[in-house]
Structure 1
Amino acid sequence: MKKLRYYIENNLSLPKILILAFVLRLIWILVIKTVPTSDFKLMYETGKLAAEGNFAAFHGLSYFNLFPHDSITVLYYSLFFKITNNPLFLIKFMNVVYETFVVYMIYVIGKKIYNKNLAKLGAFLIAIFPPFIMYCSETMAEHMAIPFFLVSVYFFIKFIDTDSILFIFLSGIFLSLGDLFRPVGIIFFIAYLIYFVIKKLILQRKKYLIKLLAFIILIIGCALPTVILSNILVKADILQNQIWQPAEPSITTVLKGTNFEALGAWNVEDAKVPSECHFNAKLTTEKSMQLIKQRFESHSIPEIIKFYAEKTFLQWGIGDYGAYGWTVLNNAGESALKAPSAVVIATISYIIISLYYIFILVFAVKGIFNLKNSKQKGKVMFIYLILLGFIGFYMLTERQSRYSFVCSWTLILTALNGFKLKE
């Protein structure tokens, strides 16, 4: 530990870490020629249509009217199609920029919570965190969402320190912007609310009206960008429905998440429920609720516990959050995948990724035991609160390893509490 501390204090600097992060990500997108597949392909290709003024994909029974939260990402891609007919590399390059900015944000948040040396360590750890490198070659909304979420968290921590109305407002604004790309902002909002109630109202029993005003300001900040942008898009006839009004009710993702046979993953049985209900939101909700109830009634408590234990492990137990599969395997031919060299490379990659992930998890768990002696206990617990919120959310909803990527940076910030590095 002394050697690590000496290295961090004397040889590791933020500019060096940022350069390392940028270079690693740039090399990856230059070497790995990932082509969008599945939903990513649909979003990318629809971006081209939107750039041409064709917004049919956002109306009727089209995918982006069923799931309008993806519309902002599609419209974001359309901006690149206005620059060039083949903007794939340009989009990937911007992913590199965003993920390098994430490294910087981990540093500034780490410095706010801990100290400069631990902040540098956190920046270095996320600079080499495999999913934050590998996913740069995939066209996905998380690249735009994560920076906004991190800025929101930063301003909320600033609010914790200062009680400034401006900081809580900015926190809400950036949370809303992140939610426009990846609609998980509610989890952050609940974490903010819980921390706010416990820390500001229960433990600090002063100035209730001012603190209530601060909470109202947070709500306004969260609502403002989404309401304004959504109404502009609807009035321009680009979107048929408001961003927060999907034609397919959100209960369907909970339905998929309770499928015991599929271990909570996407499955044909649950995916066809909306069409069987003729895309009637009320009927879809009623049938989904009925199926969810039947599943719990037909399984014993030990079976339910086993199901959620397996589901949680599969959701969080893959060290790259599915990045190798999405960026490498999905683009390789069957013969290439069976080649001995490909098998060796895949095996070595998974071993390295898994060892690194285990290292992070060990220190994140160790950080829990260090909470008692932490000078910044409240702020550290706040990051754990966000992480626990996501764990609970993905227990309820559809499972896919990629979904955890959007909040995986919380593991880095919590792992720092497992190290003993002073200023």
Structure 2
Amino acid sequence: MKSVESIHKGYRISNFVSRVVIAAGILFLVFTLFYAFQNSVVFIGTSMKTAGILLGATILILAAAYFITRWLSPVQFIILLVLVGFGLRLAWILSIQTPPISDFLDMRNAALSAARGDLSFGSNEYFSRWVYLLGFTMYEALITKIFGASLAVLKVFNILFNVGTAIVIYFAGSKLFNEPCGRIASLLYAVYIPNIIMCSVLTNQFLSTFLFALGCLFVVRNGFTSKYSWTWIGLLFAIGNMIRPLGTFFVIGFVVFALLFKLLPAENSRRVPILTRTIGAVAVYFIVSQIISYSFIYSGVTEYPFKSQEPYWKFMVGLNQQTVGGWSQEDTDYALKYKLGEERNQAELKLFKERLQDKNAVLSLFVKKFKMMWGSEDASVFWSLYEINKPNLGSFLVKTERVMYTSVAFFMLISLVFLFVKSERKEHLLFLVLLLGYALVHIVIEVQTRYRLDILPAFLILQSYGIYILYTTLMKPFVKKQPAAAGA
């Protein structure tokens, strides 16, 4: 009797927590939508004009959702997804020759050296500070070694991984909600402006996002029932972390999801398998991460562990009032005055603590950072059109991105409202936990709007249900409602 009561109690607690998480998501979306609309007005014109364009975009998206779910078979849709995704991106990189700059240039030059067998760059100041950038650098070196030094080859690989992520989103959305939701989410990912135009930039975000998204797909498909999926989860998160240092964040999100929404409401007979597979995935992640780290050290690429040697840097910069938590040349100059290691770390920690002293200023900064991170225009236009004189194209792309992003925020708000009211399976909460956690972390650390691309799959998967609900409701006389996935 106690066992049954315990299970019911755990189930009730899990349901309560899920509602709290969804409510937090709704609050996040209310502010995001408000700030995104405000920012859109800056680029589009008056509030009325912006609202009218957004209404038109909403109708267009609903009509597209109707078409792709009503008239295409699954195979036909996948073909369309690949053709649209690859075609748009290929056209962009062939017409826009974005030169590598900033960190992208540093990694590119180091990759060229590595391809020639020269690994001396691993001991310079840049890669000694940011050791985790060596993973993507060596990936670029491998591609260069095999296919040659053409920038176009690396950009084509950007396309392949980006389209691959769209396919992963299709399967994840189909599993979480239903097949139409998978189609909606993946097609929006394929036509989302920043995804397309950033393919001409040598960013590490496309490969890492693909790996993290694929790891999440293993979680929601059968991560707690399959004998081997947990190994793939840990492995993919670890390799993704080698490319972009977000692996620990995804592991923490996975553990929170597993404990609150899988283990807590489970029957006693299922708790041990869930717990052991969760622990197993975490163990694989840390073991593989250590293997990667020591491999770079033993191969002579670097003498430092595979992580940032300045753990307080992003926190210190994140509290910079002048740059609203963005990168600062002044902070860079301050840090470089001190020797790399404990001396520099203590200097950065000291400045971080000083910036925390004015509590009112810090709270005001947090609001400004949220507004910039989740409401402002994406920086992809800057990175893609850097030193390319196409102001009219840039203006058009910014306006289009603003309309798409604001529309997506609206659809996601609708989705979460319905998910709060209606009892659904809990797998979708993995992506909401990740999204909210990502937003919370960036309240404190350094922010850039291009960082939104790292969590975009979660955003689009969650909002797809809102589109599905709207188009099946508004077009009910014309649409036969698709059956939901089992358990949804």
Q: Secondary structure at the match of 1:82?
A: helix
Residues 59-102 of structure 1, C-alpha deviation per residue, up to 9 Å, x if partnerless? 1x421121111101111111233235532111011111111111
Question: Structure 1 residue aligned with 2:436, among 368, 388, 393?
Answer: 388
Residues 176-204 of structure 1, C-alpha deviation per residue, up to 9 Å, x if partnerless? 11111011112211111111111233222
CA shift at 1:225, angstroms? 2.8
Q: Is the alpha carbon distance of 1:5 and 1:350 closer, same or farther for their aligned partners in structure 2, counting shifts above 3 Å?
A: closer
**Cα distance in 1 between the residues matched to 2:216 and 2:137:** 26
**Cα distance in 2 between the residues matched to 1:103 and 1:3:** 20
Instruction: Give me the TM-score of the superposition, normalised by structure 2.
Output: 0.79
Amino acid at match of 1:309: V
CA shift at 1:257, angstroms? 0.5
**Cα distance in 1 between the residues matched to 2:154 and 2:407:** 32
Q: Is the alpha carbon distance of 1:112 and 1:85 closer, same or farther for their aligned partners in structure 2, counting shifts above 3 Å?
A: closer
Q: Secondary structure at the match of 1:35?
A: coil
Q: Does the 8 Å CA contact 2:65/2:184 hold for their aligned counterparts?
A: no
| Other-structure match for 2:265 | 203
Amino acid at match of 2:301: I
1:356 aligns with 2:404: yes
| Other-structure match for 1:310 | 368
**Cα distance in 1 between the residues matched to 2:422 and 2:68:** 20
Q: Does the 8 Å CA contact 1:165/1:217 hold for their aligned counterparts?
A: no
Q: Is the alpha carbon distance of 1:300 and 1:51 closer, same or farther for their aligned partners in structure 2, counting shifts above 3 Å?
A: same
Amino acid at match of 1:181: I
**Cα distance in 2 between the residues matched to 1:305 and 1:23:** 45
Question: Structure 2 residue aligned with 1:83, among 123, 146, 159?
Answer: 146
Alignment of 1:283-298 (within 5 A): 283-297=343-357
Question: Structure 1 residue aligned with 2:324, among 230, 245, 263?
Answer: 263
Q: Secondary structure at the match of 1:266?
A: coil
Q: Does the 8 Å CA contact 1:159/1:165 hold for their aligned counterparts?
A: no
Question: Structure 1 residue aligned with 2:243, among 181, 184, 196?
Answer: 181
1:42 aligns with 2:106: yes
**Cα distance in 2 between the residues matched to 1:212 and 1:159:** 14
Sequence identity, in percent? 20
Q: Does the 8 Å CA contact 2:181/2:461 hold for their aligned counterparts?
A: no
**Cα distance in 1 between the residues matched to 2:220 and 2:412:** 20
Structure with higher RCO (Cα < 8 A, 6+ apart): 2
**Cα distance in 1 between the residues matched to 2:422 and 2:99:** 45
CA shift at 1:223, angstroms? 2.0
**Cα distance in 1 between the residues matched to 2:359 and 2:268:** 48
CA shift at 1:260, angstroms? 1.0
Alignment of 1:12-411 (within 5 A): 12=72, 13-59=77-123, 61-83=124-146, 85-159=148-222, 162-207=224-269, 208-244=271-307, 246=308, 248-279=309-340, 281-297=341-357, 299-301=358-360, 303-319=361-377, 321-328=378-385, 330-332=386-388, 336=389, 342-374=390-422, 376-411=424-459
| Other-structure match for 2:33 | none
Amino acid at match of 1:190: I
**Cα distance in 2 between the residues matched to 1:227 and 1:295:** 34
Residues 122-143 of structure 1, C-alpha deviation per residue, up to 9 Å, x if partnerless? 1111111111111111111111
**Cα distance in 1 between the residues matched to 2:465 and 2:204:** 29
Q: Does the 8 Å CA contact 1:80/1:87 hold for their aligned counterparts?
A: no
Bigger shift: residues 219-228 or 188-197: 219-228
Q: Is the alpha carbon distance of 1:5 and 1:413 closer, same or farther for their aligned partners in structure 2, counting shifts above 3 Å?
A: closer
**Cα distance in 2 between the residues matched to 1:84 and 1:191:** 37
Structure 1 runs not aligned, ≥5 long = 337-341
Bigger shift: residues 172-181 or 400-409: 400-409
**Cα distance in 1 between the residues matched to 2:131 and 2:70:** 49
**Cα distance in 2 between the residues matched to 1:152 and 1:273:** 38
Structure 2 runs not aligned, ≥5 long = 1-58, 473-480, 483-488
Bigger shift: residues 282-291 or 308-317: 282-291
**Cα distance in 2 between the residues matched to 1:51 and 1:232:** 17
Q: Does the 8 Å CA contact 2:319/2:362 hold for their aligned counterparts?
A: no
| Other-structure match for 1:339 | none
Instruction: Give me the TM-score of the superposition, normalised by structure 1.
Output: 0.91
CA shift at 1:352, angstroms? 1.4
CA shift at 1:5, angstroms? 5.6
**Cα distance in 2 between the residues matched to 1:374 and 1:141:** 38
Q: Secondary structure at the match of 1:250?
A: coil
CA shift at 1:375, angstroms? 5.3
**Cα distance in 1 between the residues matched to 2:425 and 2:64:** 24
Q: Does the 8 Å CA contact 2:112/2:149 hold for their aligned counterparts?
A: no
Q: Secondary structure at the match of 1:78?
A: helix
How many correspondences in the alignment? 406
Q: Is the alpha carbon distance of 1:264 and 1:6 closer, same or farther for their aligned partners in structure 2, counting shifts above 3 Å?
A: closer
Bigger shift: residues 400-409 or 90-99: 400-409
